[in-house]
Chain A
Amino acid sequence: MIDIKKVKDFLGHYDGPDMNIMEVCGSHTAAITKLGIQSLLSPHIHLISGPGCPVCVTPSAYVDKLLQLAEAGRCIVTFGDLIRVPGSASSLSIEKGKGARVEMVYSPMDIIKMAKSEPETEFIFAAVGFETTTPVYALLLEQLMTEHIKNVKLLTALKTMPPVIAYLCAHDAPVDGFLAPGHVSVVTGSDIFIPIAEKYNMPFGVAGFSGEEILTAICGIVKSKGFGRVMNFYPSVVSAKGNIKAQKIVEKYFTTVDAAWRGIGVITASGLGLREVFAAYDAGSMPLVEDKKSNQSCKCDKVLMGKISPPACPLYAKMCTPLNPQGACMVSSEGSCYAYYSSGKK
């Protein structure tokens, strides 16, 4: 049993060296701000948000490609939070308002029914996400093949978490420990972070999403400062090796590719793309690396690297709000800026 009172006492009264702890999961960002976790911590423990929201790290060239496909008469199918992400000149939301066909779904599998009912229409699923979501796209591909459905393609911008964490560590991100992403770890297993933990003497705490789970993991990370270790505080769903069946089906359909991260740039081998043998299901994903800011003053890149907090951006809460996002971090409810803004921090 966790003695949560003891955990809170420790974190509230901690007076050791300052520690920056980065979370790299959109749901952690949202939970931390919603639950007011920072207010329970001593002033020596700082929580910062990293590149954990898949929507926020999707480059503008990807959105531009979706817009092109929509203009050419395709039906774009996506999770709801992607539609407001700015491309270099517009967004899916704006184009939908002008008549483009953009459908929002709860699950990628929903596209199957759509495709069957309109065999003359080509449907494009905007396949963004981390290791948590990629197995779902693999199941979708399996079903498309089983049912011989030919009018669905994926435009992929799939990312993997360990390479971007290693990139942050190698590029002096001001981080002393990571709150490891709970749902990514369900698929990958917690052991996947061991090489980075050991190389950079960095503690990782795999955490669930309740206040108690997050606080306990933060406590473990603070106590382990300077030690390269991975602690699994979410064992009800996370194992050391993860979901092997999910990993295998991902490997069947996808292969490692270089990927562009909005605001950061291209990181070698940090993404997944469809294997060549399944190229018939690809809507043209590979060359989408360009990333133009819709507003040059936008500091999403520094926010994503943990170098500034959202209010340090000159646009934050002024020109950039959830109703009028200038950068991707203000778009998704799991983006750092949106989460900050919605918790009332101005």
Chain B
Amino acid sequence: MEKIMCVALPGKVIKMNDKEALVDFNGNRVTARAGLVDVKPGDYCLVHAGCILQKVLPDEAADLTELMKEMEAFS
């Protein structure tokens, strides 16, 4: 993990232990604090500065189709 600010990376929650989660980033496993959002094993999440900042929604729940259609109307 880089020791610089602002970096936030998506990873997968492997297991939970009270307020701490074990999160997998492409094979690297890191402990992250889980007080800012409710997560469970199997969820994907965004980790910043050692804390889980948000759950990552699956692609189908984060669809941009409507916004892209709206953009077309602007051009």
Contact = CB atoms under 8 A, between A and B. Distances in A.
Are A and B part of the same complex?
yes
**Chain A, interface size: which category?**
35 or more
A186 B53 contact: yes
Contacts, number: 129
Interface string B49-63: 111011111110111
A170 interface: no
Contacts of A246: 36-37, 53
Contacts of A135: 36, 51, 53
Nearest to A246: B36
Contacts of B64: 1-2, 216, 233, 235
B40 interface: no
Interface string A320-332: 0000000000001
Interface in B1-48: 1-8, 10, 33, 35-37, 46, 48
Per DSSP, chain B at the interface is loop
A223 B57 contact: no
A75 interface: no
Q: For A105, A128, A129, A183, which residue has the most chain B Cβ atoms within 10 angstroms?
A: A183
Given A81-B4, A136-B51, A186-B46, A10 B57 contact: no
**Chain B, interface size: which category?**
35 or more
Closest 8 CB pairs of A and B: A107-B50, A80-B3, A236-B62, A235-B62, A223-B74, A81-B4, A106-B1, A246-B36
Interface of A: 1-3, 10, 25-27, 53-55, 79-82, 104-110, 128-129, 132-133, 135-136, 139, 142, 183, 186-187, 216, 219-220, 223-224, 227, 231-233, 235-237, 243, 245-246, 249, 332-334
24 contacts: A2-B68, A3-B68, A10-B75, A26-B5, A54-B5, A80-B3, A80-B4, A104-B3, A110-B50, A132-B8, A135-B36, A139-B33, A139-B36, A183-B6, A183-B8, A183-B48, A187-B53, A216-B64, A223-B74, A236-B57, A243-B36, A245-B36, A246-B53, A249-B36
